[in-house]
A and B are shown apart, each in its own frame.
Chain A
Amino acid sequence: EAQVTQNPRYLITVTGKKLTVTCSQNMNHEYMSWYRQDPGLGLRQIYYSMNVEVTDKGDVPEGYKVSRKEKRNFPLILESPSPNQTSLYFCASSPGLRTDTQYFGPGTRLTVL
């Protein structure tokens, strides 16, 4: 089944404790992206990647890192989480063209205390 998977689905952590949210897709998509969803703000892009080793900042990259060492994986790293990073996070992938549908993972709900 074609899908985007994320782990963990739920995470509660404390300020400053490094964490990684994994994202994997099995559709051989070139393009992957991370979004955060906050009430009243919709989804905002954090980082995106056009291909292996090609990444760039989105609209809200502060406090996040990403890497793309393999085509299928695009982990999101929070080196020193803070309470303002409490949010719902979505990974998405698409073949890459502007007209393409993006396929979303199920989401990771992160709480930083």
Chain B
Amino acid sequence: AQSVTQLGSHVSVSEGALVLLRCNYSSSVPPYLFWYVQYPNQGLQLLLKYTTGATLVKGINGFEAEFKKSETSFHLTKPSAHMSDAAEYFCAVSCVTEYGNKLVFGAGTILRVKS
């Protein structure tokens, strides 16, 4: 069964510093991986996804993630944090079910950006 582990429930960085949010997955089939962001009092929106092809994936708002099969990781990075990046971030893996697909989410990482 697929699963996702996000290391660190809370991450705090200074404005302008590197953002690194860690995600490791477990999957018995080639994984399709997603990062979603949830701003306060809002639903989730897609940041980026990896399906096939290039292992370095670029998303919105300057975020990117690299799929590393050997490490079963899909860490999210941004070179320079902005105050507006403060949110909760979820890593997810897409699983195949009898009737289609579903997302299995990690527990989430709350990013705090200090001025």
* Majority secondary structure, A binding face: strand
Asked if B105 and A42 sit within 8 Å, CB to CB, the answer is: yes
A80 to chain B: closest CB distance in Å? 26
- Interface size class for chain A? 20 to 34
Binary CB contact string for chain A from 61 to 83 against chain B (1 if under 8 A, 0 otherwise): 00000000000000000000000
Q: How far is the CB of B38 from chain A (nearest CB, A)?
A: 8
Is A41 on the interface with B (CB-CB < 8 A)? yes
Contact in complex: A96, B108 (CB < 8 Å):
no
- Once the chains bind, are B105 and A101 in contact (CB under 8 Å)? no
Given A31-B101, A42-B108, A50-B100 in contact, is the A99-B49 Cβ separation under 8 Å? yes
Q: How many residues of B contact A (CB 8 A)?
A: 30
- Distance between Cα atoms of A106 and B99 in the complex (Å): 25
Within 8 A of B (CB), among A37-74: 40-45, 48-50, 54, 56, 58
* A contact set with B: CB distance below 8 Å: 4, 30-31, 33, 35, 40-45, 48-50, 54, 56, 58, 90, 92, 94, 96-102, 104-107
